Amino acid sequence: MLIDVVIPAAGIGKRMGATIPKQYLMLDDATIIEHTINKFTTLPFVNNIVVVLDKDDAFFSKLKFNIKKIVIAQGGKERADSVLNGLAITTTEFVLVHDAARPLVNKEDIIKLVQEASTDDGGILAVKVADTLKEGGANREIVATRPRDNLYRALTPQYFKRQLLINAYQEANKKGLILTDDASAMELSGFSPKLVLGSSLNIKITEPDDLILARMIIKAQGLN
């Protein structure tokens, strides 16, 4: 079975606060987005890689990829809009959606997700919450402690049947909802995506400290 991959990469990286979008910052010997894309290029079941870029993106075209499978889609206002634009030019029954900002995903986890979630419900990579969770009040005082036993952090890739995910996003759009991951759309449509446990090293590069962590992880893994 061949699978298209949608990589939303049209964000500006506001929380990173760099002068360029965070996906173009260097991580060891390559940009973040190159690391991310290269995690998928060598997987045998990957068909096209649809990279979703801002319409004024001035960086991607300067990068070099020695593969032919990359297709470009135009980004939208929110992540969900970008993903939907990317999905429009996918053609396979199932699709993987993976944030450009997660360059450290490992291939074994992607394979596990596909093996365990090729159903109508689909699935996502996730990690169990380890910290005790506090709910804060208006003055940042603790108002409650939340049980964490059944709580997970949603990572990407997220993996769904293409048409079901498109339908789910279109329904969410009609309701005017802004969703921060793909599973949320499926949940709203009544599906119960599977939580597939992945590595907690698959961090999303969001703030400057995450870059430090990512560089340390790459060094420790001896990948480069």
Identify the bridge partners of residue 123 per DSSP, sorted by sequence position. 159, 194
> What is the secondary structure of 23-62 as a DSSP string?
GGSEETTEEHHHHHHHHHHT-TTEEEEEEEE-TT--SGGG
Nearest to 206 by CA among 7, 10, 18, 53: 18
Q: Contact region for ligand CTP (CB under 6 A) — 64-72, 78-86, 122-130, 143-151?
A: 78-86
Q: Contact region for Mg ion (CB under 5 A) — 5-13, 47-55, 111-119, 160-168?
A: 5-13
Q: Which residues contact 108 (CB under 8 A, 6 or more apart)?
A: none
110 touches 203 (CB < 8 A): no
Q: Applying CB under 6 A, does 58 fall inside the site for ligand CTP?
A: no
Among Mg ion, ligand CTP, none, partner that 123 touches (CB below 5 to 8 angstroms by kind):
none
Question: x-or-dash pattern for Mg ion, window 9-38, by CB under 5 A?
Answer: --x---------------------------
Measured from the CB atom, the residue of 11 and 123 that comes closer to Mg ion is 11
Among Mg ion, ligand CTP, none, partner that 78 touches (CB below 5 to 8 angstroms by kind):
ligand CTP
Measured from the CB atom, the residue of 78 and 116 that comes closer to Mg ion is 78
Output DSSP code: residue 73. Answer: E
Please state the closest distance from residue 215 (CB atom) to ligand CTP, in A. 18
